[in-house]
Structure 1
Amino acid sequence: MFIFKSVVGKLWITIIGLVVVVLLTLSLFLFRFIETSFPKSKDQAETLSKLAVKVASEISLHQEERRYLQVVNELLSAQDTSVIIVTTDFRQIQAPVGQPDHREIRYDDFFLNSDLQKVFAGEIKDNRLRNSGMPNTQLENQYTAVAVPFMNKEQSQVAGALILYQITQSSEETQAYVKKLFVVVGVAGFLMTTFFAFFLLTRITQPIQQLKKAADLISKGEYGTRVPITSTDEIGELAQTFNHMGGQLSDTIKALNHEKEHLSSVLRSMTDAVITFDAAGRVILTNPQGEKIIQEWNQIQWSDEKPALTGGQAGSGSMSTIPEPLRPLFESVISEAKELTSKVHVRSDVWSVVMAPLYSQDIVRGVVAVMRNVTEEFRLEKLRTDFVANVSHELRTPLSMMQGYSEALIDDIAATPEERKELAQVIHDESLRMGRLVRDLLDLAKMETGNMELHFRELDVLAFLRRIHRKFAGLSKERGIAISCTLPDKPLLLCQADEDRLEQVMTNLLDNALRHTPAGAQIEIRASEERYKGEHAILIEVSDQGYGIPAEDIPYIFERFYKADKARTRGTNGGTGLGLAIVKNIIEAHHGTIQVKSQTGQGTTFSITLPCKGV
């Protein structure tokens, strides 16, 4: 019931119960006291009958003795007893004793004439044994009356009837009165308790209701909610404590939000991807970099058996699952409950992944993964390894030859001056080759570190290319290779260019073309106008009819020491493997680009695009 769910209802029921228990207990003891202390109606009638006989006989004997009658009257008054005398002709006369001051009570209020006839005949009657035909009066229940014969002075005959009556003092009447009293008190207690309950409603329940409403508002995020303090009692202290708690909670929430925003800012500003997974592999938190990775990786078809996972908005309504490349590491961290580090290859990128478990009371509830794209570092490390291997290879061959031929000279193995001169020439050639290698390495190091000095000035491209053509015309003729130069009629000018470095570019390209083009083939130099990034530019092309470059080698030919001939065999005039890397760096220093097109057995074309405005 609703009443038992309310504090006021419970308090009201409790008070009503206490009142009922107290009244019942009190009535029990009071009724017990009445039964033992008050006479019953039968006892009172018998006692009153004896007194009436005595009084009747004494009054009839001492009617003339005033002093005696006064004493009897005082005794009857002390017992709240009154006397009525009725003659045999049913006439009520004034009694000498026990007569009440009022005359409203008459004999027929207690007895019928037929009853008095029996009294006149010598019987004793009380109103408890009245005739059923007598009308019911209030006095009958209020008084106990006894009628006895009244003798004349000579005691010779009955002169009438003496009626002695007094207020009924029996336990039954008293108990009935007490019951009525208790009913009245119970009703009054019920009304007072109800009033008191409504009073408590305003003094106790309403402040508690205000506290409840304030707590509901705080639970909904309104941490500035306060309750009014209307008293200084316990309720007021509770309200004051609640307001203090609300203030502390508001400060704590602000501090937590500040820390949360600080952490979010740190996560957003991190270049590394941070992703948090639960124990089932669902994404529960990411920073923008991690969200981008999840979306991209979950859209990749990893195998024929597994469908592509759909990327979701991490941290939003739908939960993404862990991508396949991270799953083995994730399962290891969950099972072993320890931090693990690994590298993951996704397409052409390399990612360093650090994954650590998240605990909740010594139970692994998920993992946090920090990922960084280390493709460039991985590439540089590979380049470093390859560089050491290539430099060692390139230096070991000439050094071995120089050491061997120098030992031959020292040991006088060469018998003739011509043989000694030939050995010395080989040593000289190998020293030049080592010098070129060291010079190219120094140049490449300066270019990659940005320390290469460039001297920019205006350059006439047509004149520059004609000079380059003349420079290589003799060498190509010796090898039986035709070299041509196709130039436009209108002038081509570069506003900012380093002529020496561009000559180094053309030299490296033409040297490669001559070394990889067979006799009888042709090399062509071309120049024309071009548009590059919406501006005027000059296109320079070097085409040969050589052996060509395999398609799988084209993406790597501009790397240091990369050689399409995997055997790494070179002649005396072989290159160092650094020429194209130097070419690319010089062109990029001029804000230009270089591209290559080649087919095996059909030749190669290098295309250089240089902006006219230059740097």
Structure 2
Amino acid sequence: MFILKSVVGKLWITIIGLVVVVLLTLSLFLFRYIETSFPKSKDQAETLTRLAVKVANEISLHKEERRYLQVVNELLSAQGASILMVTANFEQIDPPFAQTQDKTFRYTDFFTKADLQKAFAGQSVDNRNTSSGPRAPLSNQYTAVAVPYMNESQTQTAGALILYQLTQSAEETQAYVKKLFVVVGVAGFLMTTFFAFFLLTRITQPLLQLKKAADLISKGEYDTRVPITSSDELGELGKTFNHMGQKLSDTIKALSHEKEHLASVLRSMGDAVITFDADGKVILTNPPGDKVVRDWNEIHWTDDWSGQDERQLPRKPETVPEPLQPLFQGVISEAKEMTAKLHVQSEVWSVVMAPLYSHEIVRGVVAVMRDVTEEFRLDKLRKDFVANVSHELRTPLSMLQGYSEALIDDIAATPEERKDLAQVIHDESLRMGRLVKDLLDLAKMETGNMELNLRELEVNTFLKRIHRKFAGLSKEHGITMTCILPEEELVLFQADEDRVEQVLTNLLDNAIRHTPSQSLIQLSAARTRYKGEDAVLIEVADQGYGIPAEDLPYIFERFYKADKARTRGATGGTGLGLSIVKNIIEAHEGTVHVKSQPGQGTTFSITLPCKAV
């Protein structure tokens, strides 16, 4: 039952149990006392019978003796007894003794006529031991005996003498006490129930309010408080609960602030941060980490991670990605921090993975990942740059050293031979000079230290001059160069003429060197739109050998040459021209693109904005 599970119900049952135990214990001792201190009803009846017989035997002989009557009357008064006298005709007569009670009784209150018939017949009759049948009205309250009394001549029975007394036996007292205890027990039950319902409002209601407030706090309502209605222990408990709620609210707010601070830090980090549990499931990520997990788990990895099979179903996105599995297992098993560099398709990632502890048990792993593809590429470019510079310088230096030694050793026999050797040394020194100059220019451009002399540039006039400059050279190679310009005037309001000329010089020089004779090189310009504004489009198109498709993405890198077999003669390029072109155009906030197919020529398109930089 619900009430037995409540505090009030338990208190109610406890109090009732205490009342029952007290009443039972008290009744046990009281009944024991009554049994030892009060006479039995049988004893009282026997005593009254002896007294009644004695009085009946003497009453007819001494009823005229005043002194005798006075003694008998005092004796009866001392016993609390009274006498009724009934004649054989069932007529009640006044006894010679004074009544000891104010209330007057009739013989029918104690005996029936059938009982008195026995007394008239010479028997002693007890109202508690009469024949079966209806009993007299006062038989339960009074103990009465009826004995015969004789006439004055002592020859026959004149009637019956009834001696009665309030019942003072143990049985009656016990019955009375039982009734009393039943009444007291019922009263105790009712009072206990009343006080239980009284305590329901004084104890249970505050406790229920505390429970309700605790439930609300457990649901996140940390500002919940309980009303204080008393200054007792429950009131102190309520105050303590409210104080605890305030402290908890402050702590939660502080934790939330720290959590938001940590979340902000994680969100603002460029590195990917991922937390896994011991089973490899993702617990927490920042946006870059979430992207890495999602992207990597959508790929079906082969054993070497070099490709993917789109026919396979993707892995579940909440698990450790395949490239991180070996590192994850190592951190879990060895419980120590590990670092690694992972090559994932075309990207390079630096990974630092550390264990998370809970009571000295590894409960998970946190991984911090950084995309170092650009750093890796730049490091590779640096190494390639050093290798390429060494390679580019090795040839002219070797030639300078060899031809200079030939001059020193007088190997050249004629002045013409010495002149040829000196010419080679001169050409290689010029080649080295161009290489050093290009390297210095490229270094300035990439570090942002390139100075531009910006002024207004009239494009049509400028391109006509460039065309005249290279027309003779192209004619020497059997190449036809044309210049197509619009009728409208094209103006760049801010441009460095020398740098733009350097761009076109590099492009036309490459076109002439890689275009066979009897072919065409076309220089053209037109108005266009770039980023929603007016711009000038300059194109250099040739009918040369073209550039393979696999080389197109790399032609603007330093020292990259699509023609790997081209000899490095005196007129050979340094491999830096196109890289310089790209940097100059980007410094003017423009763009350069290339379109090429092997055997069909190459077209370089330069777009320069007309407005001021």
If the length of structure 2 is used for normalisation, what is the TM-score? 0.90
For the pair 1:172 / 2:166, whether they are aligned, the reply is: no
Write the letter of the residue equivalent to 2:79: Q
Distance change >3 Å, CA 132–CA 481, structure 1 → 2: closer
- For 2:482 and 2:109, the matched residues in 1 are separated by 163
- For 1:523 and 1:129, the matched residues in 2 are separated by 155
Native 8 Å contact 2:300 2:310 kept in 1:
no
Distance change >3 Å, CA 497–CA 101, structure 1 → 2: closer
1:353 to 327, 340, 351: 351
- Residue matched to 1:395: 393
User: Displacement, 1:132?
Assistant: 4.1
- Residue matched to 1:526: 524
- For 1:268 and 1:306, the matched residues in 2 are separated by 34
Native 8 Å contact 2:482 2:521 kept in 1:
yes
User: Displacement, 1:453?
Assistant: 1.1
Native 8 Å contact 1:12 1:197 kept in 2:
yes
For the pair 1:460 / 2:458, whether they are aligned, the reply is: yes
Percent identical: 78
- Residue matched to 2:212: 213
Distance change >3 Å, CA 68–CA 566, structure 1 → 2: farther
1:372 to 356, 370, 373: 370
3-state SS of 1:139 partner: coil
1:511 to 495, 509, 512: 509
3-state SS of 2:105 partner: coil
Write the letter of the residue equivalent to 2:149: F
- For 2:103 and 2:549, the matched residues in 1 are separated by 148
Write the letter of the residue equivalent to 1:500: D
Write the letter of the residue equivalent to 2:221: E
- Residue matched to 1:253: 252
- For 2:43 and 2:69, the matched residues in 1 are separated by 26
User: Displacement, 1:555?
Assistant: 1.0
Question: Pairwise CA RMSD of aligned residues?
Answer: 2.8
- For 2:147 and 2:351, the matched residues in 1 are separated by 125
1:307 to 301, 305, 312: 312
Native 8 Å contact 2:108 2:136 kept in 1:
no
- Residue matched to 1:147: 146
- For 2:589 and 2:297, the matched residues in 1 are separated by 38
Distance change >3 Å, CA 130–CA 549, structure 1 → 2: closer
Farther-moved stretch of structure 1 (365-374 vs 441-450): 365-374
- Residue matched to 1:606: 604
Distance change >3 Å, CA 510–CA 64, structure 1 → 2: same
- For 1:568 and 1:323, the matched residues in 2 are separated by 45
If the length of structure 1 is used for normalisation, what is the TM-score? 0.90
3-state SS of 1:571 partner: coil
User: Displacement, 1:601?
Assistant: 2.8
- For 2:124 and 2:482, the matched residues in 1 are separated by 173
- Residue matched to 2:574: 576
User: Displacement, 1:203?
Assistant: 1.1
Write the letter of the residue equivalent to 1:508: N
For the pair 1:484 / 2:489, whether they are aligned, the reply is: no
- For 2:535 and 2:115, the matched residues in 1 are separated by 154
Write the letter of the residue equivalent to 1:290: G
Write the letter of the residue equivalent to 1:267: L
Distance change >3 Å, CA 568–CA 603, structure 1 → 2: closer
CA shift digits 1:465-491 (9 cap, x unpaired): 232233233333433433333334443
- Residue matched to 2:10: 10
CA shift digits 1:248-289 (9 cap, x unpaired): 111111112111221222222222222333444443332233
User: Displacement, 1:64?
Assistant: 4.6
Farther-moved stretch of structure 1 (503-512 vs 115-124): 115-124
- How do 1:58-457 and structure 2 match up within 5 A? 58-97=58-97, 99-102=99-102, 104-113=104-113, 115-116=115-116, 118-120=118-120, 122-132=122-132, 135-151=134-150, 158-300=157-299, 303-304=308-309, 307-309=312-314, 320-457=318-455
Count of residues in correspondence between the two structures: 607
User: Displacement, 1:195?
Assistant: 0.9
Native 8 Å contact 1:355 1:370 kept in 2:
yes
Write the letter of the residue equivalent to 1:577: G
User: Displacement, 1:357?
Assistant: 3.2
User: Displacement, 1:454?
Assistant: 1.0
Distance change >3 Å, CA 121–CA 295, structure 1 → 2: closer
- Residue matched to 1:316: none
CA shift digits 1:174-222 (9 cap, x unpaired): 2222221121111111111111111111111111111112122222222
User: Displacement, 1:382?
Assistant: 1.4
User: Displacement, 1:229?
Assistant: 1.3
Native 8 Å contact 1:591 1:614 kept in 2:
no
Farther-moved stretch of structure 1 (242-251 vs 35-44): 35-44
Farther-moved stretch of structure 1 (153-162 vs 121-130): 153-162
